[in-house]
Amino acid sequence: MGAGTWESHHAITALMYRYAECIDAADFAGIGALFANAVMTNEGVEGEIAGSDAIRHLYEGTNRVHADGTLRTRHLTANVFVDIDEAAGTATARSAFVVFQQTETLVLQPIVTGRYRDRFRRDGTGWAFAQRHIIVDHVGEVREHLAFDLARFKEQHPG
């Protein structure tokens, strides 16, 4: 694997940033579309979620949408490293993320940090996600963001 072309690097990082844009906007159909032919896995959790509908349903069932129609979050993806094999049409990426949130009852603060380990493949239409593996490192106040207790879940499923 190597650096790949600028066009491939840009297309891959655009997918990563599009995910953050979709989740902040509560665009769960958009997230599903990004992972239409991909799987999602989480550190410490067995199995995978595969395909557009399943991933859309996962996000619809686990995220709190606020009165303004968004999650009131800002997902930032940083420290992005992409390795591309142009000949094979495959790539991997690793990155870090931090999620900030502010609501009527929650002052602006970071609520979750972690890492993404992504795989991509190129087909006739361009680059697409093949897999996103999510590793949650730190959990803050997430009750305004998630419909379940992530801190308790993380305790029960140590990665």
Sign of CA dihedral 150, 75, 80, 31: positive
What phi, psi does 37 have (nearest 5°)? -120, 40
pLDDT of residue 139: 92
Chain center to CA of 26: 13
From the list 75, 77, 111, 113, the residue with the least C-alpha distance to 95 is: 77
Residue 159 has pLDDT above 70, yes or no: no
Q: Which CATH number among 3.40.50.11540, 3.40.1800.10, 3.10.450.50, 3.40.1010.10 corresponds to the domain 6-156?
A: 3.10.450.50
Q: Cα separation of 76 and 19, whole Å?
A: 10
Please provide the average confidence, as pLDDT, over all residues in the chain.
Answer: 92
Model confidence, pTM: 0.89
pLDDT in tens, 90-134: 999 999 999 999 999 999 999 999 999 999 999 989 999 999 999
